[in-house]
């Protein structure tokens, strides 16, 4: 059974860093520790959001093209399962039979992994235990994730998640439990 959870953000302490410190490798262990904490709390998490959490904790504005390879190298050394979605790594910390709601700017719809969004659809279908039209399911999906409207990004996430092989469809395109 799929579980619904509240989204939790890893609380990283702030520290001052500059790009030269990162490029020198002197912060590799610190960055690895911060990435590990974020994955342990926020997984599944997309690579870009993982980097954003660590960058913000280091008082930097962005990774930049010089620093991105350092972050990528460190991220690839993390002991977590990784998958790829639309050209971006997603980090996992064990099997995910849950989805999380997002409030405000905790996490935007484009930052939600497709597998997690598919778990939300499965949760709705289990709960409703009936055949549902695509438009009704899209609204229920939006509400479960905590979004006020079904904008283009939420709709794109829904469409991608609805393609998950675990989600049942009827002959006329409706969704079934």
Q: Is the pLDDT of residue 12 over 80?
A: yes
- Closest C-alpha among 176, 106, 102 to residue 143: 102
Percentage of residues in the chain having pLDDT higher than 70: 97
Domain ranges of the chain: 3-92, 98-176
146 conformational bin, left if phi > 0, alpha if psi -120 to 50, beta if neither: left
Q: Which residues contact 51 (CB under 8 A, 6 or more apart)?
A: 63, 68, 71, 75
**Coil vs helix vs strand at 80:** coil
- Closest C-alpha among 84, 81, 16 to residue 43: 81
Between the two ends of the chain, the Cα-to-Cα distance in Å is: 12
pLDDT at residue 102, rounded to an integer: 75
Residues 140 and 107 sit within 8 Å (Cβ to Cβ): no
Dump pLDDT digits (tens) for 103-127: 666 788 889 999 999 999 999 999 9
Pairing of strands 98-101, 45-46: unpaired
pLDDT at residue 155, rounded to an integer: 93
> What pTM was computed for the model?
0.86
pLDDT at residue 103, rounded to an integer: 66
Dump pLDDT digits (tens) for 17-76: 999 999 999 999 999 999 999 999 999 999 999 999 999 999 987 767 888 999 999 999
Retrieve residue 52's tokens. 């954003």
Q: How far apart are CA 57 and CA 137, in angstroms?
A: 37
Q: How far apart are CA 7 and CA 103, in angstroms?
A: 8
pLDDT at residue 108, rounded to an integer: 86
pLDDT at residue 96, rounded to an integer: 74
pLDDT at residue 107, rounded to an integer: 83
Residue with tokens 């953000």: 9
Residue with tokens 């996490």: 107
Dump pLDDT digits (tens) for 128-174: 999 999 999 999 999 999 887 778 999 999 999 999 999 999 989 89
**Coil vs helix vs strand at 55:** helix
């Amino acid at each position: 059974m799929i579980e619904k959870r509240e989204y939790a953000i890893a609380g990283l302490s702030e520290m001052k860093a500059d790009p030269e410190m990162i490029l020198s490798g002197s912060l590799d262990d610190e960055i690895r520790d911060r990435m590990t904490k974020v994955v342990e709390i926020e997984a599944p998490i997309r690579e870009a959001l993982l980097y954003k959490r660590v960058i913000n904790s280091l008082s930097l504005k962005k990774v930049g093209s010089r620093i991105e390879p350092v972050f990528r190298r460190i991220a690839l050394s993390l002991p977590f399962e990784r998958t790829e979605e639309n050209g971006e790594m997603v980090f996992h910390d064990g099997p995910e039979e849950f989805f999380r709601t997002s409030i405000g700017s905790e996490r935007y719809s484009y930052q939600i992994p497709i597998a997690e969004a598919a778990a939300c659809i499965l949760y709705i279908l289990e709960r409703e235990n009936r055949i549902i039209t695509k438009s009704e399911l899209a609204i229920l999906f939006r509400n479960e994730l905590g979004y006020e409207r079904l904008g283009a990004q939420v709709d794109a996430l829904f469409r991608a998640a609805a393609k998950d092989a675990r989600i049942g469809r009827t002959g006329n395109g409706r969704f079934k439990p």
